[in-house]
Amino acid sequence: MNSRYAGYLYCALAMIGVGSTVVVSKPIAAGLPPFSATALRFAIAFPLFVLAMRWRGVRWPRLDRRDTLLVIAQAGAGSVGYTVLLISGMKLASAADAGVIAGTLPAVSAGVAVLALGERPAPALIGAILLATAGVLVCTVHPGEFSAPHAVSSLAGNALVFLAIVCEALFILLNRKLSTAVAPLPLSALMCGIGFAVALVPACFEKPWALPVDASALGGVLYYALVPTVVGFVLWYAGAARISGAEAGLMTALVPVSAVALAAMVLGEPVSAAQLAGVACVLGAVLLATFGQLRMRRSAA
């Protein structure tokens, strides 16, 4: 297979895996407390990353105090915060709505960079943020249903999912602030190891050992740890090595598509016209942000 096409395929499969986390979080949320599920996810994934490091002869990075604190903050936000908030939100939100919200990550990341770093947004980026916002509002806000109890809980769930995406955006921002470049493999291992340590203490307060065993929830955590976390890492970086950063970023458009499709196929959720419109807006936002970034790089060159 042509190396470029292989890159597209690997990145696409990785993003489909990311979209599936929204769906698999449903049974996890129904059977396990969020911190317990998060700690178990990292307990499974961490030794696999360590084995991969030993197999490839990769050493742990040497970080100064500032970078160590940044890595811990990354793990707290992007690893623990994202997983806990996503699982908590999936108790209340539909998988299709959550998938659309998850697809706004590129636009949310850019917005956080503008607010936190004072970066000057390009017109394409402003348009992408507005489109992504419109997509979320179209599929999640229904003014005529505000009085219904299920609508209130659904909005709360959507808000938790959006906060999970903000945590992931903070992860990306904090990674850019590291003064020492850390290779993807040891960084992933660090995120899993620190994430496990951070989630373990609150998980003990949840007393998961006192709960009845839920096979669906445990199977969901196992899938989450192996497929989106470990296999997704391998696929994404194998693909990103073969194509440009802008082209890899374009593949993130598959997240809301895969999440909505899997919600319908696996969970049997009906897909509404509003959700399809939301997906279209989010796809447009990803395309606009990606091509805008590509155009700026070409102009700078």
Q: Residue 111: what residue type?
A: G
In this prediction, the residues of the chain whose per-residue pLDDT falls under 70 are 1-2, 117-121, 125, 139-152, 244-247, 249-250, 289-301
> Tokens in use for 103?
């697809």
pLDDT tens digits for 168-181? 888 878 887 888 88
- pTM: predicted TM-score of the whole model, two decimal places: 0.83
> Tokens in use for 51?
């084995």
pLDDT tens digits for 14-27? 888 988 998 999 99
Distance, first Cα to last Cα, the chain = 30
Q: What percent of the chain has pLDDT over 70?
A: 86
Report pLDDT for 295. 62
Give the rounded distance of the alpha carbon of 61 from its chain centre.
24
Give the rounded distance of the alpha carbon of 234 from its chain centre.
16
Report pLDDT for 286. 72
